[in-house]
Amino acid sequence: MSVLLSCLRRAGLLGLAFLLVACGAPQQTADSESGEPGLKVVTTFLPITLFTRAVAGDCAEVNALIPPSSSPHDFQAKPGDLASLREAQVLVKNGLEMESFLDKLVASAENPDLVVIDSSQGVTTIASQEEHDHNEADHAEEHGHGHGEVNPHIWLDPLRAVQQVETIRDGLVKADPSCAEGYRRNAEAYTEELKGLNTEIASQLKPFEGKTFVAFHDFAPYFAERYGLKAEYLVDVPEMNPSPADLQRVSEIVEQTQLRALLSEPQEGDRSFNALAKDLGVRISVFDPMETSSEQAALDPGTYFNVMRGNATNLRQAFSQ
Ligand SMILES: [Zn+2]
């Protein structure tokens, strides 16, 4: 309404030709009201999309390659994904072989000017624990899923997330110096919030230091390390089915540690986990590793904080009576 009014007012000064041009325009350019963002950025999956959106603000157009409902662990690229990589100037990834499909896709996109930001650069990593009681056949299957030597779930530690955001900031500043100040300001605000979140979770989980929790897949070592906890898991990647040995191992952990709950994730594939919890007489709670989300949640950088607060609350409940 007010757009129309101001438009009519301006048109009154400048005449009918302006009215036709200017008043027809707002609807088409509604998403880029603050001016056309200069930089086209493609991200891979949820946390990377949230961090990049937070830093980009109005300076860049950010689009995710993997739909929020798909797990990055088993993502299959489509021909349409090539088009978005061809048009983009920047690609932001988590790194650490989380996006195992990516190298091939980037090569096929034939976009020699594409700047790739690896947000894991400089982050201290934890090796993948693949030495559980799996037999050789299981191992072959795991490697088929593209799990690397290093555990890639660094974003679940808020302070490693700070490093990721800073790396994304530096990459965007370099790719688009015209908006350098905006990228720096946005990153500063987001990293301050991440540090605040870390302090908050640390004090909430302090009473449970040294305790063990069991997650569905192997996503929690960075979170656990940050807060002095020990993370165990049922399977390496979410698409795997647990072997009898996996179930046995988790049963023993639950007995030894007197855990009150297993931490499921809001994703398909954990039916066996629910059955196991029932057998063991413990509750199922949720720890969301943020590998998937709704479309809506993927648009809001604040989703990271909402999900992590929920995770900390659920974990506290799992440790309590
Ligand atoms: Zn994962």
Regarding predicted confidence, which is higher, 77 or 65? Answer: 65
Q: Is 14 a domain residue? A: no
Cα(219) to ligand 1 centroid in Å equals 5
Cα(36) to ligand 1 centroid in Å equals 35
Pair (165, 240) in one structural domain: no
Cα(292) to ligand 1 centroid in Å equals 10
Range with the lowest mean pLDDT among 46-55, 166-175, 269-278? 269-278
Regarding predicted confidence, which is higher, 146 or 61? Answer: 61
Here the CATH number for the domain that contains residue 126 is 3.40.50.1980
Q: Which domain holds residue 307?
A: 207-319
Last residue of a domain, one of 181, 200, 219: 200
Half-sphere exposure of 147 (CA within 13 A, CB side): 22
Q: Is 11 a domain residue? A: no
Pair (48, 77) in one structural domain: yes
The percentage of the chain sitting over the pLDDT mark of 70, rounded to a whole number, equals: 82
**Number of domains making up the chain:** 2
Q: Is 191 a domain residue? A: yes
Confidence (pTM):
0.84
Mean pLDDT for 223-243 is 92
Pair (213, 65) in one structural domain: no
Instruction: Tell me the pLDDT of the chain averaged across its residues.
Output: 85
Pair (41, 186) in one structural domain: yes
pLDDT computed for residue 147 by the predictor: 58
3-state secondary structure 193-217: HHHHHHHHHHHHHHHHCCCEEEEEE
Q: Is 17 a domain residue? A: no
Helical (H) or strand (E) element with 60: strand 60-64
Strand, coil or helix: what is 267? coil
φ, ψ (nearest 5 deg) of residue 303:
-55, -40
* Contact present, 134 and 243 (Cβ < 8 Å): yes
Pair (229, 313) in one structural domain: yes
Is pLDDT above 90 for 34?
no
pLDDT computed for residue 224 by the predictor: 97
What does the pLDDT look like over 130-181, one tens digit per residue?
A: 654 444 444 444 433 445 789 999 999 999 999 999 999 999 999 999 999 9
pLDDT computed for residue 139 by the predictor: 43
Cα(180) to ligand 1 centroid in Å equals 33
Pair (222, 251) in one structural domain: yes
Regarding predicted confidence, which is higher, 23 or 170? Answer: 170
